[in-house]
Structures are given as structure tokens and as C-alpha cells.
Amino acid sequence: MRIGWPHKCVLPHALDGSQMLMLPMNPCRRLIPGATIVVFATLTALSCPADVMLAPAFTDHAVLQRDLPVPVWGRGTTGETITVTFRGQKHQATVGADGRWSVRLAPMPAETEGAELSIGSGQKTVVLRDVVVGEVWLASGQSNMEWPLNQARQGKEVVASANSPLIRHVKIEHSPSDLPADAAKTSGWQTATPETAGGFSAVAYFFARELSQKLKVPVGIIHSSWGGTPIESWIAEPALRVTKAWPRFDAEWQAALKVFPQKQAEYPALDAAWRKADDEHRATGKPNSLPWPHPPVGPGSAYAPGALYNGMIAPLAPYALRGVLWYQGESNVGRAGEYAELFPTMIRDWRKSWGQGDFPFLFVQLPNYADGEPAGRKWAELREAQNAALTLPNTGVAITIDVGEPNNLHPTDKQPVGERLARVAEANAYHLPGEGTGPVFQSAARDGPAMRATFTHAEGLVLRVPPASGFELAGADKVFHAAIAQIHGRTVVVSAAEVREPVALRYAWTNSPIVSLYNGAGLPAAPFRTDDW
């Protein structure tokens, strides 16, 4: 199912700068969406790869990363000379035997005024209009990253006022692939206007809005996400093969192929029944007792190991980025042990694919969600597994344990999520003044019949919900009891009448916990535990 580069293919309509619409899996599709084609002869069709073709993120209104070398690449005819010009720079490359060409623009300062990026070959030139230079972030994950702005809380009002040429967004359309692909469907880069912003990722939009206001430069979001997908779909197969989870993934994939025809036939009815029950829940509050029907896994599936890396990430590298935003994990709840290995594996592999070193990788820790069992621990365990990535350099987390909706897997208030990601970026990637995170647990020790916990990022430490604080204590019997907490400077003293000799402390360690601990910047503490039970 590879998206390749055939020897012969024809685009079936005039090159008028409009989005190309091709048959599924046709590798000639979307190679120059949104581009203006300057032609020295009248043409109604274009043979490929005889002409200049660009990687998917190069379209009109593109944002190029400031202060870094900027690769520009694509396809052409072997031996042909490609000339790339932009803002006084001129670079040439010769198309290799594999049909590929690539140049690198020298680092540039931010530019808010758009300019033309010209890529010439023989008698034809591709001209991209209104290309600016600023900050570029890749936003990826599953449904809560994909959630559109027009469906977010107060989304209609936000969309109506969205009129900023500094905020730009390009959506990579759903496209799994068995092998790393060269091409990907895109919406083309769009500037934020009331006509376009409704389809932007809500989290990414609020991130970009906050960042552009602080930096006063264009902020571009490359949005590549897919709801309901597990992390293993986003990791290249060679990287997956060296993880402990690979034998299980491979065995399950082979088993899934055997039952795929039957599952595919059953799925439409199961999906319709679940949607009907979910609509009834939203209308009446009656619980939806039906399990969410997982789409069948088989050929062309988004759930195949590596399929989304191949189809929706590989075609984007090495487009110059400042960093990555990641919001995913819901589909891996119940498999926290695996996630603790897979997430750092994915980060390392993406960084390797881009060849930019350890660029910032910021992620959203999953919010409070009851999942039918508010006092359960599965979501707490997955949040802990996410934090395994913090052992890697240049990573950061936005804590959202207080802005979820306990009975809604898709909390609609995306503004604090995007803004908290922006605050992490401002502190970690841009080194701007201001606090980027809430209190972070550092250590705990016995203090008589209590335990005293120490925190960093603890200026102005406050409990908003005393005494029902979300803290728990356990003794040697490993039975946890709700505890009372008191602030003492940068520490919190926690006690429980039932536990006279505490040995373990937990905070916000349930699916949907009480959340009470904040710092003076108004940011919540991350859930934590001192035990490994």
C-alpha cells in the first residue's frame, strides 16, 4: 500500500493553483497544493515526475522556521537542475538517480511580511505565495489534539474573532501507509480567519495564539493527528521492533488479519448502535453502557503498528521545526507499562528522523476522566507512564488534571490546554520570564505521624480545596486513606487519622481525583506517588 512515485501518472485537470483532487493512494496527489504554477506553455495536464514536485508542507502561506537551516525538497527528473530562491537567497540542486532533490536555505530572522518562494526547473517554475518566517510546531496525537476549534467551548465566538495572519495551520489528512511515504494529503497552509480557523486544532490554535502574542512573530502549526489511535501506530516499525512490546504487537497484527473480513462486516452496526446510545446519553444523561466499538484492524488500518508514522509523519521530515506538541494516551490506558517504554522510543525516533538534534518535545498529561470508575487507577498509571518521557532532554509537560470533564472523554475547554502548552514552551524553548509549570513533587519524608512533601516551582503554594485535598497516605499495610494537608512554605504536611506510621504518599492518584494544590502562577501540581505498589 505504499505511496510511491510511479513512472507515469497524469494530473487530470488544469494547473490553476487549486487543491488537487486525486483518486485514493494516487501518489501524484497533493504534491503542490495551494501553489501557483507559472508555465511557459499552455498545459492541461502534468506528467510526473517530469516536473517540479514539492514535499507536502510546502504550499502558499507556509511558515518557515526562523534561525535554523530550512530544508526544501521534492521530486523531479533525474539530472535536472532545480533552482530555489527566497528572500535574496538562491540555491541549486541536481535531481538524483532516485528522482529526489534537496536544498537548504540559510537561517533567517522572523519575517511577518509574506514573500514568494520560487522553485524552478527547466521551463516551469512553482511559486509559493505569502511565505513567512517564524516559529513552526508539529502538533500530533489522537482525538483531543484533533478536536476542531469550532467544537471547543466558546469555539464559535473564538472563531468569529480569529483574524490573525500571524497564526497559520496546515492539516495533514488521514493517510496510513505500510511503508514510509513521500507524499501526504494536506489542506494547504491557511491563515487564521473566521472562514478557516474553525477547522484548526483547538489545542494548537490556543497554543499558537498565546505564543504569537508573546513572540510577535508568525506561528505555524503542522497538524497531523487521528482520533482513537494508539501510540504504536505513530512509531516507525524499525524502532518498534526493538521494544519489549513488539512480539505482542506483531502477533496481534497477524491474528487481526485473519479475522479482518468478519470484523469489517460487523463494525457498521456496532458503531451505529454506540453512536445512538452516546447521543441519548448527551440528551438525557442516561449512561452509555455499550463499549466503544474499536474500528476493525486490517490492511490500510490506522491501528497497524507504524502505519501513521509512515503515512503522516515520515513525509513531513525534515521540514524545519522548533518542536513537537503531543496529546495522546487515551487509547493506551490499561497498558501503562508499555507506554513508559514506547513514548520515549517515539520521541527519540522522531528526533532521529528530523536530524535537528533534541528539539523541544512538549506533551499534555491526560486530564481527569472517570472512565466509569472515578476512584480507579488506570488513568493515573498512564499519566505516570507519560512522565517517563521527562527523563529525555528538552521535554516538558502541560498538566491538565483540573480541566477535564469526568464523564466526557473529549473535554471541550481546550483553551487552558493550549495556553499551558504555550507556557511550557515559553519557559523551556524560549526562556521567557514567567512560570511554565505547576508545583513538581521533589521528595517526601516522615514527620512524626505525618509526611512532609517538598516541591519545586512552589512559589505561592496554595490548597484550593482544603481539607479534602486529594492526598492519600498508607502505612505498611499498603491501604490508602484520604488525608488532610497543610501548607508550610514550599512544603505540604499530610496526615490521616487512620495512618499513624505512614510509609507512602499519593496525590491526585485516581482516574478523576480531587485537585487542590496550585502555585502562585495558578498552575496545578502534577499527580504523583512515592510508592511502586
Residue 129 has pLDDT above 80, yes or no: yes
Distance separating alpha carbons of residues 419 and 433, to the nearest angstrom: 15
Q: Is the pLDDT of residue 16 over 80?
A: no
Q: With CA atoms as reference, report the closest residue to 330 among 58, 487, 504, 147.
A: 147
d(C-alpha 513, C-alpha 519), whole Å: 18
- If one counts every other C-beta atom within 10 angstroms of the C-beta of residue 142, the result is 25
- In angstroms, how far is CA 185 from the centroid of its own chain? 17
> Which residues fall within 8 angstroms of residue 238, CB to CB, at 6 or more apart?
none
pTM: 0.88
pLDDT at 482: 96
Q: H/E element holding 157? A: helix 155-160
Q: What angle do CA 87, 64, 188 make, to 5 degrees?
A: 110
The pLDDT tens digits for 464-515 are 988 778 999 999 999 999 999 999 999 999 999 999 999 999 999 999 999 9
pLDDT at 122 (0 to 100):
78
For the stretch 170-194, pLDDT in tens is: 999 999 999 999 999 998 999 999 9
pLDDT confidence tier of residue 46, bands split at 50, 70 and 90: very low
Q: Which residues contact 133 (CB under 8 A, 6 or more apart)?
A: 63, 64, 65, 66, 87, 108, 109, 110, 111, 217, 218
Q: What is the C-alpha separation between 87 and 111, in angstroms, rounded? A: 10
Which residue reads 521545526 in cell numbers? Answer: 321
How many other CB atoms sit within 10 Å of the CB of residue 304? 23
- Intra-chain end-to-end CA distance of the chain, in Å: 45
**Mean pLDDT in residue range 108-131:** 94
| Residue (of 67, 520, 399, 421) closest to 210 by Cα position | 421
Report residue 41's pLDDT band, with 50, 70 and 90 as the boundaries. Answer: very low
Nearest Cα neighbor of 301 from 310, 291, 313 is: 310
- pLDDT, position 114: 97
pLDDT band at 277 (very low <50, low <70, confident <90, very high): very high
Burial 422-441 (b: 16+ CB within 10 A, else e): bbbbbbbbeeeeebbbbbbb
* pLDDT class of 57 with cuts at 50, 70, 90: very high
Residue-level pLDDT at 468: 76
pLDDT tens per residue, range 461-478: 999 988 778 999 999 999
Does the pLDDT value for residue 73 go beyond 50?
yes
User: Is the pLDDT reported for residue 414 higher than 80?
Assistant: yes
Worst-scoring range by mean pLDDT, 232-236, 274-278, 339-343, 435-439? 274-278
CA distance linking residue 132 with residue 164, whole number of Å: 13
What's the alpha-carbon Rg for the chain, to the nearest Å?
A: 25
Residues of the chain with pLDDT > 90, as a percent, come to: 84
Give pLDDT, residue 282.
Answer: 85
Instruction: Assign 78 a pLDDT band (cuts: 50, 70, 90).
Output: very high
Answer whether 509's CB lies under 8 Å from 377's CB: yes
Q: Average the pLDDT over 406-422 and give the result.
A: 97
Residue 61: closest CA among 121, 137, 112: 112
**pLDDT tens digits along 346-377:** 999 999 999 999 999 999 999 999 999 999 99
pLDDT at 466: 80
Q: What is the pLDDT of residue 372?
A: 93
pLDDT band for 308, please (50, 70, 90 cuts): very high
Angular region, 253: left φ>0, alpha ψ -120 to 50, beta rest: alpha
Q: Is pLDDT of 2 > 80?
A: no
The three cell numbers locating residue 50: 517530469
Q: Which of 409, 501, 520, 377 is nearest to 446 (CA)?
A: 501
Residue 295 has pLDDT above 90, yes or no: no
User: Alpha-carbon torsion 159, 164, 166, 171, what sign?
Assistant: positive
**Spatial separation of the C-alpha atoms in residues 482 and 480, rounded to whole Å:** 7
The predicted model gives 227-246 an average pLDDT of: 97
Question: Would you say how long the chain is, in residues?
Answer: 533
What average pLDDT does the segment 187-203 reach?
A: 97
What average pLDDT does the chain have?
90
Please give the backbone phi and psi of residue 2, each rounded to the nearest 5 degrees, phi first. -65, 140
**Domain locations in the chain?**
440-529
The grid cell for 156 is 464559535
Residue whose cell numbers read 504487537 = 249
Coil/strand/helix, residue 119: strand
pLDDT of residue 121: 87
Q: Does 328 score more than 80 pLDDT?
A: yes
CB 316 within 8 A of CB 138: yes
